[in-house]
Amino acid sequence: MPVLREPTREEYTTLDPQAFWSTFVLPRLIRIEGISSRDETGVIMRARQTLDDELAAMHLVMCFLRTRRNALSAVSALPAEVLARIFEFYAALQPPASDDERPLGWIELTHVCRLWRDTAMQFPSLWSDICFDLGPQWAEAMLARTKEAPVSLRRRLAWAPNRSMNIISEHMRHTRELSLVGPLDVLERYIRTLPSPPRTLEIMELGTDYSDFLITRVVNFKLPEAKAGGMSFAFASSPGS
């Protein structure tokens, strides 16, 4: 393999891109020169790790170049507030779990580029409509990104994992809207375990779900006084119940 001279600082900006990167990378691979698939397993594994490390480093460089390129696009000139407002409109049109083919909904915007992701992370209100249909992990991630901003929690209680129920209880302190739907006995039992409603709570909706045929008639259900606290709420039941 010929000895390659490292380019000078002045040559960095004048070299052809392919020539520059070849010149820059190839010397890094001298230590695995001559290794083939016929060598011992340990030697091959170390060579592969070396290549994987180089690929990982190159991936970071490519990410930096893409970020720099995206910064030159017209949309990057928009103020963060304007971009976040556009995200809000799109979030209303494409909420998470509303499309089987694109389950993340509007959250996919955060995968477009670093600027869009950073912008979304700067505005807690974007994450305030918590989605449980993607699983407890996504619900927890969205709640973390709200940074204690008022949130809307909507959950179907039938067959909901305990972790989802615990999440609701843990975040009642900054809940603005709470909507729970489920079999009446489950609904009543769960409501009694919730903390007292915080001052941030503006709407509380309780609904029965008879689709699982566990309940065949409506019985009287009174919201505990500690949960009502002078707050108005809606209790909905299925049509014809």
Q: In this predicted structure, what is the pLDDT of residue 214?
A: 38
What pLDDT does residue 2 have? 53
- Asked if residue 211 has pLDDT above 80, the reply is no
pLDDT number for residue 220: 40
Residue 206 near residue 236 (C-beta atoms within 8 A)? yes
| 23 or 117: which leads in pLDDT | 117
pLDDT of residue 3: 54
Q: Please tell me the distance from the alpha carbon of residue 225 to that of residue 140, in angstroms, as a whole number.
A: 29
* Residue closest to 124 by CA, chosen among 151, 104, 101: 151
Name residue 58's amino acid: M
Angle (nearest 5°) at CA 239 between 212 and 197: 80
How does pLDDT run across 127-172, given as a tens digit for each residue?
999 988 888 889 999 999 999 899 999 888 776 667 777 888 889 8
At 52 the pLDDT is 93
C-alpha–C-alpha distance, residues 142 and 239, integer Å: 33
Nearest Cα neighbor of 105 from 115, 123, 117, 92 is 92
Of all residues in the chain, what percent carry a pLDDT higher than 90?
Answer: 32
Please check the confidence at residue 67 and state whether its pLDDT lies above 60. Answer: yes
pLDDT at 161: 66
